[in-house]
Amino acid sequence: MIISIASGKGGTGKTLVATSLALSLRDDYKVQLLDCDVEEPNDHVFLRPEITGTEAVATPVPRVDEEKCTYCGECARVCAFNAIAVVGNNVLTFPQLCHGCGACAYLCPEKAISEEDRETGVAEWGHSNGLAFAHGKLTVGEAMAPPVIRKVKEHANNEGIVIVDVPPGTSCPVVEALRGSDFCILVTEPTPFGLNDLTLAVETVRELDIPCGVVLNRTGVGDSGVEEYCRQKRIPVLLTIPLDTEIARLYSRGITMVDGMPQWKSRFFRLYDKVSDIVDERSRGPER
């Protein structure tokens, strides 16, 4: 089973939930945690894994042989991302905009375009006290996170439970990280900002046809807007976590919630049971 931990905004507690869920399950299941928030990965801060492997991530970008080029402009016309332009008798390439689709090289009538790899990040993997782990790091200044996310997901061990820590928001990196998930846990907070971004996240996962449930973090502040929304949309609230200074204190010291407050381990285990029941029920389909 692949369980994604996502949110419509940053700072809601995705990492707290992802690490706590993984650590709560590792004694009973084969568990792997993938940190796909490659622009700012931080699961390793709490898990302190031993890294045993690393692989560079590269995107193919165009290289133009101007001796063959006739400056017809076909490459610029077919590029959906404006990563190549023809200005007079010059061809300009913008590697940071290139998605590596290969259309310019494939459709060039003079076969004047080849591709060369451009490194954009790195994927690393290892383990932490029986928990398999992998994460990616996007090179500073790069804009294209999805290739790094795809490389991290290549190291997923689908024989057990895979927990994916998804980037915040609802943009392309989020969609790439969510793709292929059996269930998505949406972490939010009971505030108007939390509700606004939750609605965007729900629309995203439903467009991807992924069942979802909510973990409500920092309860005790804000209002009841999120809970009312979940009732209206028939989204289960799987777990509530109170606003607690002890949780914040542990977090600031790089200690996971279930390590610092062991009583929460059983609650996260029940969270997994709820998710598993929903996935099983959905796989059986509607009763006839």
User: How far from the centroid of its chain's Cα atoms is residue 8's Cα?
Assistant: 12
Burial 184-217 (b: 16+ CB within 10 A, else e): bbbbbbbbeebbebbeebbebbeebebbbbbbbb
For residue 226, count CB atoms less than 10 angstroms from its CB and return exposed for 0-12, middle for 13-18, buried for 19 or more.
buried
Residue 173: Cβ within 10 Å count: 22
Every domain range in the chain assigned CATH 3.40.50.300:
2-57+121-284
Instruction: Find the radius of gyration of the CA atoms of the chain.
Output: 22
CA distance to 49, 68, 77, 257, per residue, from 107 (Å): 45, 14, 10, 53
Identify the pLDDT of residue 286: 62
> Is residue 151 within 8 Å of 136, Cβ to Cβ?
yes
**Listed residue (38, 49, 4, 29) closest to 163, CA to CA:** 4
Residue 126, both tokens: 């290892």
Every domain range in the chain assigned CATH 3.30.70.20:
66-111
Identify the pLDDT of residue 288: 42
Round to whole Å and give the CA distance between 75 and 47. Answer: 46
Query: Three-state secondary structure along 132-191?
Result: EEEEEEECCCCCCCHHHHHHHHCCCCCCCEEEEECCCCCCHHHHHHHCCCCEEEEEECCC
Round to whole Å and give the CA distance between 118 and 104. Answer: 16
Alpha carbon dihedral 96, 100, 106, 109, in 10-degree steps, equals: 0
Q: 254: which residues sit within 8 A by CB, 6+ positions away?
A: 45, 46
β-pair partners for 55: 123
Considering only the C-alpha atoms of the chain, give the largest distance between any 2 of them, rounded to a whole number of Å. Answer: 70
Sequential pLDDT tens for the chain (288 residues): 999 999 988 889 999 999 999 999 999 999 999 999 999 999 999 999 999 999 999 999 999 999 999 999 999 999 999 999 999 999 999 999 999 999 999 999 999 999 999 999 999 999 999 999 999 999 999 989 999 999 999 999 888 999 999 999 999 999 999 999 999 999 999 999 999 999 999 999 999 999 999 999 999 888 999 999 999 999 999 999 999 999 999 999 999 999 999 999 999 999 999 999 999 998 887 654
Instruction: Tell me the fold of 66-111.
Output: Alpha-Beta Plaits (3.30.70)
Q: 236: which residues sit within 8 A by CB, 6+ positions away?
A: 213, 214, 230, 274, 278
**Listed residue (2, 1, 10) closest to 173, CA to CA:** 10
**81-127 pLDDT, tens per residue?**
999 999 999 999 999 999 999 999 999 999 999 999 999 999 999 99
**38-66 pLDDT, tens per residue?**
999 999 999 999 999 999 999 999 999 99
Residue 26: Cβ within 10 Å count: 19
Identify the pLDDT of residue 176: 97
Identify the pLDDT of residue 29: 95
Instruction: Tell me the fold of 2-57+121-284.
Output: Rossmann fold (3.40.50)
Round to whole Å and give the CA distance between 176 and 167. Answer: 10
* Residue where the block lists tokens 């690490």: 19
Identify the pLDDT of residue 203: 96
Identify the pLDDT of residue 226: 96
Single-letter amino acid, residue 158: N
